[in-house]
Each structure stands twice: as C-alpha cells, then as structure tokens.
C-alpha cells in the first residue's frame, strides 16, 4: 500500500518533502508552453533587448552636445578701446550621409534583435515540448515497472515464506530475492529519472511552485509536414547585412564633420554696440592610418560573418538529415512492435495466465513470462520516447512560428 501511494505521487510529479508545497498542475503541453513564455527569464531578456534596440533606432538622428560658451579676451578690442565679452553657441554635425547609414544600421540591429527573440522563443518551446514529453515517458515507464516491482515483491515474500516452512529449497528463495532486487533497483532508478525530467521541465518554466503533469498514456507525435528553415536563413541574412552596414558606417568616418558657430560680442563702454559673428568649418582626419585599419577590420568581420552564416546553414541542414534518418529508424521499430511485438507479448500474457491457472507452469515461470511481455512494453515506450524527442528537435528545427 505504501508503494502504491508513492507511485501515485510520482506519476503526478510530486516530490516528497518535509513541508507543504503548492503545485501547478499541467493538463497539456500548450499550458506548459504558455507558462514558459510568461516566466522564462531568458526569453524576457530577449524582449528587453528588442525594446532597447528600438529605442536606439529612434536615436539615430541624434547630434553631439551643443556648446554654449562665454569668452573674454583682452586682445579682442572693440572700436571703443574696450575688450569684448563674447557669448556664442557651437554645434557639430556629421556628414549628411552618416545619418542615413546610422539609421540603416540601427534598423538592422532592431530586426536582428527581433529575429533572435523569435528564435529563442521557438527554442524555448522546443525545450518545453521535449521536457514535457520526457516527463510523460518516465511516468509511463514507472507505471510498467511498478507493476513488475509489486509482482516480484509478492513472489519474493511467498518464496521466503515457503522456504521458512520447508516447502521449497534455498535456490528458489535466493532466485526470487535476486529477481525482486533487480527489478526494484530499476524501479528506484525510474523514480529518479522522473524527478530529473521534472527538474528539466521546471528549468524551462521557471516557476516557484512545484510542477505536476497529469498522467496520460504516451503516444506518438505526428510527423511535421514542413521542410523550411526560413527563420534561420533570415537571421543569417540579417547578420550579414548588419556587418555590411557597420562597414559602411566605418568608411564614412573618413568624411568631414561640419561645424557651425554663432556668437555675439559686446562691452559696456562708451558708444558700445553688439558685434555679431559666425563661423563654418570642416573637421577632417589628418592621420588616416588608424581609420584605414578600422575599416580593414570591419571588412574582415564581414567576411567572417559570411563564412559563419554558410557554416551555420550547412550544419543545420546536416543535423536535419541526421534527425530525419533517426526518426525513420524509430518509426520502423515502433511499427514492428505495434504489428508484431506487442500483440505477441499480449498473447504470451494470456497463455501464461491460463497455463498457471491450470497448473502447467509454476509461479516463477509465470512471472518470468510476464516480465518478458512487460519488457516489450518498455521497449515500445523507449522507442516512442526516442521518436518523440527526435520529432520535437526536427519540428522546431525546420518549422516556423
């Protein structure tokens, strides 16, 4: 009875603790994904980065600080033989084409941040889907192992009692004990695996409460009907444009800045008057070597980004092909088990049960046959889990939000 209570709690994801806890019960994958989108700090950081880039985009037309000054120079003498006090304002403007290049770069930065957010959002949904599916797998596996554990526990107790009463030999007793200890160890390991899968799901959801996943039979996911990777291609293309925009802006650092100044001078002497003045100027680099090295560095960056993008897409395509091949292998195994393995195991169970009831086989033979049939179920669950994990990896690699 105690084991039954423990397995019930494990199947819904409760972890035994010394104090009361609150739980979030997940009834579906969609609910888990929704919670992850609301709480995952990494995804929220991506949202903030996109907002930051949007604010920077609005600042693309900004100017340097305006200089307002007061000057007094006794060399600056007015006709009334008194020095002028000068008040003026000075502003420096970048070359007009710099503004356009800066706006383009900032727009690209915003688009890159938005695309990165979509990719991280998509990757988070993949991780949640895989973790949720893994929890369901371990729940189902634990359900099967609990059946065997209970069965061998009863057999071990019966064999020990028969040995004590002198109704059976020592070999049968230690055989029963060995079978029970072996399956009980698998049972304990399955409990730990379920706890770890809950930890993985909790890491993606990032909620303070403990998590429960409603127990449902493990089923095979539907193969995605898509083969596009447009989001990844878009991201690679945007990053390349971003590097080229940086290069264009760096080249325009060689263009002169334009400075404008307006000032007024006056004094308080006899026949004083106000003297207006202005100045226009260009700021040009006199030492070109550092600028040329910076431009060359940006050229190298453009080439590097292009190679990295090509490598990324090639690796992505190779990974897609590997996942598709693995998916086909797991599908073949699942199809075999559904068409032959599981029906045979079911038939073995029925025949063993009747044979045991008729006294044709002993209890040890009976539970060995049941174990063999259950192992077929476990093998089916293993292949289902491998298939589903690969499915989610492939789906989120080749699909778009």
Global pTM value: 0.79
Pick the CATH number of 2-17+40-398 from 3.40.50.970, 1.20.1600.10, 3.30.1360.120, 1.10.3720.10: 1.20.1600.10
How many other CB atoms sit within 10 Å of the CB of residue 289? 8
CB 387 within 8 A of CB 327: yes
Q: Is the pLDDT of residue 243 over 50?
A: yes
For residues 304 and 236, the answer to whether their CB atoms sit within 8 Å is no
Rounded-to-integer distance, Cα 12 and Cα 10, Å: 5
What is the average pLDDT score of the chain? 86
Q: What was the pLDDT predicted at 20?
A: 46
Task: Tally Cβ neighbours within 10 Å of residue 119.
Answer: 17
**C-alpha 97: how far from chain center:** 40
pLDDT band (50, 70, 90) for residue 400: low
Domain residue extents for the chain: 2-17+40-398
> Do strands 210-213 and 23-26 pair parallel, antiparallel, or not at all (unpaired)?
parallel
Model pLDDT for residues 37-89, shown as the tens digit of each residue? 888 888 899 999 999 999 988 888 888 899 999 999 888 888 888 999 999 99
316/234 Cα distance (integer angstroms): 14
Name the token pair of 394. 């492939």
Query: What does the pLDDT look like over 368-398, one tens digit per residue?
Result: 888 888 889 899 999 999 999 999 988 888 7
Q: Evaluate if residue 6 carries a pLDDT over 80.
A: no
pLDDT of residue 3: 47
For residue 84, give every residue at least 6 positions away whose Cβ sits within 8 Å of its Cβ, in sequence order, or none: 72, 73, 76, 77, 78, 265, 266, 267, 275
Q: What gap in Å lies between CA 362 and CA 172, rounded to an integer?
A: 12
Pairing of strands 275-283, 67-77: unpaired
What pLDDT, in 10s, does the model give residues 9-22?
444 444 444 344 57
């Amino acid at each position: 009875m105690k084991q039954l209570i423990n397995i019930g709690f494990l199947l819904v994801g409760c972890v035994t603790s010394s104090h009361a806890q609150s739980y979030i019960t997940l009834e579906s994958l969609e609910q888990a994904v929704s919670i992850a989108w609301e709480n995952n700090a990494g995804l929220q950081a991506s949202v903030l980065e996109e907002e930051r880039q949007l604010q920077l985009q609005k600042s693309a037309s900004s100017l340097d600080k305006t200089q307002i000054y007061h000057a007094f120079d006794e060399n600056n003498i007015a006709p009334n033989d008194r020095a002028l006090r000068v008040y003026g304002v000075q502003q420096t403007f970048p070359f007009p084409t710099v503004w356009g290049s800066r706006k383009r770069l900032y727009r690209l930065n915003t688009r890159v941040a938005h695309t990165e957010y979509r990719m991280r959002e998509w990757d988070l949904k993949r991780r949640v889907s895989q973790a949720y599916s893994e929890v369901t797998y371990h729940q189902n596996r634990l359900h099967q192992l609990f059946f065997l554990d209970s069965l061998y526990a009863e057999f071990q107790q019966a064999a020990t009692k028969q040995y004590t009463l002198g109704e059976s030999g020592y070999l049968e007793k230690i055989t029963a004990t060995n079978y029970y200890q072996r399956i009980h160890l698998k049972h304990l390991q399955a409990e730990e695996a379920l706890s770890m899968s809950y930890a993985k799901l909790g890491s993606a959801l990032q909620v303070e409460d403990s998590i429960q996943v409603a127990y449902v039979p493990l089923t095979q996911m539907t193969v995605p009907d898509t083969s596009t990777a447009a989001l990844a291609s878009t991201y690679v293309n945007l990053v390349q444009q971003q590097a080229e925009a940086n290069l264009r802006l760096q080249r325009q650092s060689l263009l002169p800045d334009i400075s404008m100044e307006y000032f007024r001078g006056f004094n308080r002497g006899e026949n004083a008057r106000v003297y207006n003045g202005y100045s226009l100027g260009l700021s040009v680099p006199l030492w070109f070597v550092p600028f040329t090295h910076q431009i060359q560095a940006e050229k190298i960056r453009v080439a590097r980004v292009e190679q990295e993008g090509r490598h990324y897409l090639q690796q992505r395509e190779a990974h897609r092909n590997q996942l598709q091949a693995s998916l086909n292998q797991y599908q073949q195994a699942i199809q075999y088990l559904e068409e032959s393995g599981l029906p045979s195991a079911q038939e073995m169970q029925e025949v063993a049960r009747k044979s045991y009831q008729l006294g044709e086989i002993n209890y040890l033979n009976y539970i060995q046959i049941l174990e063999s049939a259950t192992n077929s179920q476990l093998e089916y669950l293993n292949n289902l889990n491998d298939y589903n994990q690969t499915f989610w990896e492939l789906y989120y690699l080749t699909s778009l939000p």
